[in-house]
Amino acid sequence: MSINFEQALEQLVPPHGSPALNVLLLEGDLLANSLKKAATLPSVTMTSRERGDLIMLGIGGFTPLNGFMNKADWQGVCDDMTLKSGGNKGLFWPIPITLSVSSEQAEGFNVGDEIALRAEDGEIMGILTLEEKYSIDKAHECQTVFGTTDTDHPGVKKVMEQAEVNLAGRVEVFSQGEFPTEYAGIYMTPTQTREEFAKKGWKKVAAFQTRNPMHRSHEYLAKIAVEICDGVMIHSLLGALKPGDIPAEVRQDAIASLINHYFRSDTVIQSGYPLDMRYAGPREALLHALFRQNYGCSELIVGRDHAGVGDYYGAFDAQDIFDAIPADALKTKPIKIDWTFWCNACQAMASTKTCPHPAENHVKVSGTKLRKALSEDQEVPANFSRPEVLDILRNYYAGIAKEDRTKVELTGASAK
């Protein structure tokens, strides 16, 4: 029996902690009036990470949050991944969503003040109504969220470098930045992805998280999800990465080429979201599942070293952490897949769960090794990456001066 569009929407996984998306993005006269007011307010400049978080608050990606976290919620999220205040008390949340300013700036603000939120380029992107000013133990956040205080970890480095005082409060959001125009047709809000899934009649939808071009192992993971779900959304991070990661526009071209040549069009959607990468490994895997629930995905593919960096996390820590949280913490569940590779004996893609052959038959090349090979004009095995994808990546590296290519080669980055 066929169902109508509204019924199809209702059959998708509900947003996190809410019956409906909490969209804080203003439109129309309300937006115009708030923009005029914001121009008269004192302002703070957000970091790239904070800007991405604000956009996610605006589009409902961080449903049910209303703004940047207060100290009780920051503490609860760090210590036991639980919000501690307001109507969301007791709700699962794995990573703090905070806004920081210098002590000097903070002294000029009082509870109840309205503060304009600017991007680094000066654009006014929203207003925060101040509810609390507080300082934090940055080392405590790093140890609990990242599992380390080592400033060689890029996520730790950002936290340790952030300003001294956090500002908490509800936000109104004005802008989605450059994402709707620079990534037109790729960038989607949770409202848009839910509508797209409903149009396709999808109910069980898997998200594939990536910050890299997709090679054969990634393709294999996505196709496993297609086999057991109605469809898969290849969901790429479009915000800031570490120095050396391949730019988003190159990644999007490579992914589009892979989809066009090797996927059925009615089983896959290419999309992107505006966050910066935190590289928080297991905790970030949980955040990925949480906001994919808001995007309408019932499953998240979690492979080797999901959201990891260097040697800070075990290969499957991001899978194991889902077993350590309450069963009802998230509606979106992990699809756990072992190490995948091309097996020369099987003459096919396989995993350690399915392949009986010894390791010398396995072609395992990480994203880091791929970048290194391309930056040094080395051959890449045909069974590691599709030729159409390699052509796009080679063209990108060919445009980089050889003396600059080492800056593009990431040390210790994960394959996702």
Amino acid at position 300, single letter = L
Is residue 352 classed as helix, strand or coil in its secondary structure?
A: coil
Contact 302, 322 (CB under 8 A): yes
Structure tokens at 367: 């994203």
* DSSP H or E run through 97: none
The DSSP bridge pattern shows strands 43-45 and 333-336 to be unpaired
Q: At CA 177, angle to CA 173 and CA 179, rounded to 5?
A: 125
| Dihedral angle of Cα 128, 130, 135, 136, to the nearest 10 degrees | -60
Instruction: Please provide the size of the chain in residues.
Output: 416
**Integer CA distances (angstroms), 60 to 235, 275, 287, in order:** 16, 13, 14
Tell me the CB-side half-sphere exposure of residue 87, using CA atoms within 13 A. Answer: 7
Q: What are phi and psi of 66, to 5 degrees?
A: -105, -10
Residue given tokens 């091309």 in the structure block: 342
Taking the C-alpha atoms of residue 230 and residue 219, their distance in angstroms, rounded to an integer, is 16
Instruction: Name, in order, each residue with C-beta under 8 angstroms of 318's C-beta and a sequence gap of 6 or more.
Output: 281, 282, 284, 285, 302, 305, 306, 307, 308
For 127-162, b/e burial (b = at least 16 CB within 10 A) is: bbbbbbbbebebeebbebbbbbeeeebbbbebbeeb
The set of catalytic residues is: 211-212
Taking the C-alpha atoms of residue 347 and residue 350, their distance in angstroms, rounded to an integer, is 9
Taking the C-alpha atoms of residue 393 and residue 375, their distance in angstroms, rounded to an integer, is 10
| Dihedral angle of Cα 174, 178, 184, 186, to the nearest 10 degrees | -90
The DSSP bridge pattern shows strands 165-173 and 268-273 to be unpaired
